[in-house]
Structure 1
C-alpha cells in the first residue's frame, strides 16, 4: 500500500502466518502495530476496521510495505526466514516524490532494508518490532520510539 503522496514508508520484514491467512497487514491480534502507529499519529486505529485503518494511514501520508518479497519460512518468526528475495525498496522509494522517512519495524526489516537505501537522502528510522514475539522492551518505550514518526508527517 503506497500512495504517491506518502511521506513515511513503514517496512515490515515478511507477513506472519496470521497476516498471510487474513491477507492483511499486522493481522495477529497481539501485534501492537496498529496501537503503536496510531499513537504516533493521534488516531485510535485499533478500534477501526481494516479498511478504515488503511484509509487513515493513507490520509496521514503513511505507506506500508515489506523488505522481503518472497521467502521460505516455517512459522512467523523472522529468524526462520530462509531464501529471502528482497523487495526493490530503492525502486519503490523513487516512485514516492514526497517521501521523507523510511521506518523499519524490527531488526530484520532494518538489516534487509537499510543497505538498499544507504546513500539516499531519506531519514532511516529503526523501530522496535511491534510483534508479540519481541517482549524485551516495555510497551511504553516502544510507544516513545514509534512516536518519532509524527515528526515526518507535518
Structure 2
C-alpha cells in the first residue's frame, strides 16, 4: 500500500467554484499535476468548455481555470492506496484537507462540484464544514468511469455554465 499525499489547491482570490476530486492518481503524483493521466477527461472537458488545448502547458491550463473563477483541489490530503482507483483507498487512512481554513480564506466560493461519487462521499463523511454552499456531483472524468465522453461533457457543461446553483 502506497502513501498518497495530495497537492496544494489551484486557487486564487477570484474563484467562486471549487472542483473537488478525491485524491491524486499515480500518474498525477509522478507528474505533480492534477489529472495527469492522458486518459482522464478533465483537461479535455475543461479545455473544450473554456477554450484551451487539453495538452497546453499545465500553467496555461490552470491559469485558464482561474480566469473562469474555478479552483481545483482534492478532498483527501493523505491516504493509503494500492494503484489509482478510489475504491482502493484504505478508509482508515483518509485525512481530509483543511476546508474550514480554505472556505474561511476564500469566502467568495459559492459552490462545490465533485468530480465523481468518491469525492462527494468522502467530503460528506469527513468534512462538510460549509453547508450553506451549493453542492453538485458530476460524473467522474476518470477513465475508470465508463460513461461516454459526450455524456460527461454534457453534464460538466451544464454544471459549469449554470450559475443558478
Residue segments in structure 2 that go unaligned for 5+ positions in a row: 1-9
8 Å contact kept, 2:76–2:97: yes
Q: TM-score, normalised by structure 2?
A: 0.84
Q: TM-score, normalised by structure 1?
A: 0.90
CA gap 1:71/1:123 in 2 versus in 1, 3 angstroms? same
CA RMSD of aligned residues (A): 1.7
Q: What SS does structure 2 have at the residue aligned with 1:11? A: strand
CA gap 1:107/1:63 in 2 versus in 1, 3 angstroms? same
Q: Which runs of 4+ in 1 moved over 6 A?
A: none
Q: CA deviation at 1:36?
A: 1.7
CA distance in 1, matches of 2:48, 2:26: 25
8 Å contact kept, 1:67–1:86: yes
In structure 1, the partner of 2:96 is: 86
> Which of structures 1 and 2 has the larger relative contact order (alpha carbons within 8 angstroms, sep 6+)?
1
Aligned mate of 2:124, from 114, 124, 143? 114
Q: CA deviation at 1:39?
A: 3.3
CA distance in 2, matches of 1:36, 1:105: 12
CA distance in 2, matches of 1:133, 1:112: 18
CA distance in 2, matches of 1:88, 1:128: 24
CA deviation string 1:91-114 (max 9, x = no partner): 312221211210110111000113
In structure 2, the partner of 1:59 is: 67
CA deviation string 1:47-71 (max 9, x = no partner): 4211100111111111111000101
CA distance in 2, matches of 1:84, 1:66: 12
8 Å contact kept, 1:90–1:117: no
8 Å contact kept, 1:101–1:152: no
Q: CA deviation at 1:152?
A: 3.1
CA deviation string 1:27-48 (max 9, x = no partner): 00100001122334x3134042
CA distance in 2, matches of 1:99, 1:52: 22
Is 1:95 the counterpart of 2:142? The answer is no
Residue segments in structure 1 that go unaligned for 5+ positions in a row: none
